[in-house]
Structure 1
Amino acid sequence: MRVVFMGTPDFSVPALEKIADKHEVVAVVTQQDRPKGRGHKMQFTPVKEKAVELNIPVYQPEKVKNPEFVQVLKELKPDVIVVIAFGQILSKEILDLPKYGCINVHASLLPEYRGAAPIQWAVIDGKKESGVTTMYMAEGLDTGDIIDKKIVELDKKETGGSLFDKLAITGGSLILETLEKLENNTALTTPQDDDKSTYAGKITKELGHIDFTKSAEEIERLIRGLNPWPSAFTYLDEKVLKIWDADVIDEEVAEEPGTIISTNKTLKVATADGYLDIKELQLQGKKIMDVVSFLNGYKINSTKLG
């Protein structure tokens, strides 16, 4: 099949590699290069890096629906357009262009978690399983008919980062199965039940500010869901304290939420329900360290985190 691949971040790369092994990827479309780092040096998107490595032509239109670029797509004559975390809305003209349509790979079991951040929210909400869905793209947000799904179970200590990696690999294998079905005319579709849909809104840095009036279980899931970005944090001695790993201690709490209970080996914090037993943390300006190393080198002056 002649494939035009649209994607931008790391999540899209495994699928691009898989498709390029089996099909003719005539073009990769990705977001424009952005300045990054202290030197503000222009940096390729992860998808562009992989496309260059594979000698696939790369296009980076400011807006994919501009008439000039739509004409480029028409001239490429794709059988199918595969879209994975591209970052732009496709016009109806583009959706109707390929023989087999535009196929999206979405990192959730639709209709659950439509939207921008399904991976992190699955962890934050305490889901036991997540997965990947392939679907025909429609004009609504993640509303198209479902073609295939693949379930992925979450580990007890699953983080947003580890689930991201799992689903990226799963998406790469699932899209190959979907493309084969399309080519063989064996793809069966299922309309989404809008009444069962949920929305996974964008993740912001402020979301990571820990509220100790919530339960230890909720906070522990937030810590895992926002690892590695943007991370869960609180304040200790007026400095930002990022928490990277913690356990839940299911005990009755006598202290006010946020109260620190510390020894030379443990750092527990009272919550509305249970204690948060911090295992790995990072004080502002310092490196990530285990709690014992931190306590050996830092004298805590505050009585509460906040």
Structure 2
Amino acid sequence: MKIIFMGTPDFAVPTLEMLNEKHEVLAVFTQPDRPKGRGQKLQMSPVKETALKYDIPVYQPAKLKGDKESLQIIKDISPDAIVVVAFGQILPKDILDIPKYGCINVHASLLPELRGAAPINWAIIRGYKYTGITTMKMDVGLDTGDMLLKETVEIGENETAGELHDRLMGIGAELLIKTLEMLENNMIVPEKQDDSKSSYAPMLNKELGHIDWNNDSYNVYNLIRGVIPWPGAYFFYDDKMIKIWEAIKIEDICDIPGKILDVNQEGIKIACKKGAIIIKELQEIGGKRMDVLSYINGHEIEKGKIVK
């Protein structure tokens, strides 16, 4: 097939690479270069880096809607399909209508659950046991198009969002290739989504990671896992912000929420409304990521103190 690919982050890269092997990728659309890091230097998206490696033409419109130049480029290419993976823009109808097989999206949830920007994170934060990948034919809504294929995966009890992300991006690439093959051979009957069963996975922000110790340990632990690597779960000890990289939960404790119950080489134990969290790896903002033994050797953590 003649393909136009639209995507931006790491999650989209395996799909682009597999498409480039199996089909003819004639153009890549990705978000404009953004300033990053302390020096605020412009940085290419992972998808742009990959496209340039394979000498695929790259286009970076700030907004596709109303962009006549991009519309004409797509019309001139006349693709059989446009594949979209975490592109970061909603496609307007005049683009959706161009490809023979439509615009096919790879979404990291079992639709109609977890529509939106951060389905991997919210699946863990909300305590889901299963999630997966859905390929769908896009329409003008946000992840509301007819579903094509699904693959379900079990979420590990201690799996972080970063680990689940890395598993799902490979599964998504393979499911997309299978979807195109079945579309080409007229082997898929698109299935409408049941809007009454839909849920939303909003974009993450830094404030989301602030731990509320008045939750039980199960929910706090899910939050910690669900926001690794970004934005990270954190709390305040005095005025110091401390980010948690690794922890375990225990459920048979009842004490004042936020109280430091114990500090030793096994971890920093903090009470929740029900149960407790034992922190194994942490990072003071502005400092290095450390295992708990290294941290308490250089920092005083007072047992009995209440953290915020």
Same fold (TM over 0.5): yes
Deviates more, 1:62-71 or 1:3-12: 62-71
Shift of 1:292: 2.0
Shift of 1:186: 1.3
Aligned to 2:8: 8
Shift of 1:280: 1.1
Given the alignment of the two structures, is residue 236 of structure 1 paired with residue 242 of structure 2, yes or no?
A: no
CA distance in 1, matches of 2:64, 2:251: 51
Shift of 1:94: 0.6
Contact kept in structure 1, 2:263 and 2:301, CA below 8 Å:
no
Contact kept in structure 1, 2:133 and 2:152, CA below 8 Å:
yes
Specify the code of the residue in structure 1 equivalent to 2:22.
K
Aligned to 1:54: 54
CA deviation vs aligned residue, 1:184-205 (integer Å, no higher than 9, x gap): 1112211111111011111110
TM-score (norm 1): 0.97
CA deviation vs aligned residue, 1:31-59 (integer Å, no higher than 9, x gap): 11111122221111100000000111111
Contact kept in structure 2, 1:133 and 1:150, CA below 8 Å:
yes
Shift of 1:169: 0.6
Query: Any idea what SS the aligned residue of 1:94 has?
Result: helix
Given the alignment of the two structures, is residue 25 of structure 1 paired with residue 25 of structure 2, yes or no?
A: yes
Given the alignment of the two structures, is residue 214 of structure 1 paired with residue 215 of structure 2, yes or no?
A: yes
CA distance in 1, matches of 2:58, 2:189: 32
Given the alignment of the two structures, is residue 264 of structure 1 paired with residue 264 of structure 2, yes or no?
A: yes
Contact kept in structure 1, 2:253 and 2:271, CA below 8 Å:
no
Shift of 1:293: 2.1
CA deviation vs aligned residue, 1:120-152 (integer Å, no higher than 9, x gap): 000111111111000000111111110000111
Query: Any idea what SS the aligned residue of 1:109 has?
Result: coil
Aligned to 1:115: 116
CA distance in 2, matches of 1:45, 1:270: 41
Aligned to 2:96: 95
Aligned to 1:44: 44
Contact kept in structure 1, 2:136 and 2:146, CA below 8 Å:
yes
Contact kept in structure 2, 1:278 and 1:291, CA below 8 Å:
yes
Specify the code of the residue in structure 1 equivalent to 2:178.
E
Specify the code of the residue in structure 1 equivalent to 2:289.
I
CA deviation vs aligned residue, 1:49-72 (integer Å, no higher than 9, x gap): 000001111111122131221111
Structure 1, unaligned stretches of length 5 or more? none
Query: Any idea what SS the aligned residue of 2:110 has?
Result: coil
Structure 2, unaligned stretches of length 5 or more? none
Shift of 1:264: 2.9
Shift of 1:296: 2.1
The CA RMSD measured in Å over matched residues stands at 1.1
CA distance in 2, matches of 1:38, 1:291: 27
Contact kept in structure 2, 1:260 and 1:269, CA below 8 Å:
yes
Specify the code of the residue in structure 2 equivalent to 1:151.
T
Given the alignment of the two structures, is residue 251 of structure 1 paired with residue 252 of structure 2, yes or no?
A: yes
Give 1:144-293 correspondences, 5 Å limit. 144-253=145-254, 255-265=255-265, 266-293=267-294
CA distance in 1, matches of 2:248, 2:215: 15
- Point out 4+ residue stretches in structure 1 off by more than 4 angstroms: none
Contact kept in structure 1, 2:214 and 2:273, CA below 8 Å:
yes
CA distance in 2, matches of 1:119, 1:247: 20
Shift of 1:268: 0.7
Contact kept in structure 2, 1:109 and 1:132, CA below 8 Å:
yes
Contact kept in structure 2, 1:264 and 1:296, CA below 8 Å:
no
CA distance in 2, matches of 1:160, 1:263: 27
Query: Any idea what SS the aligned residue of 1:56 has?
Result: coil
Shift of 1:249: 1.3
Contact kept in structure 2, 1:237 and 1:300, CA below 8 Å:
no
CA distance in 1, matches of 2:236, 2:203: 24
Specify the code of the residue in structure 2 equivalent to 1:28.
V
Query: Any idea what SS the aligned residue of 2:264 has?
Result: coil
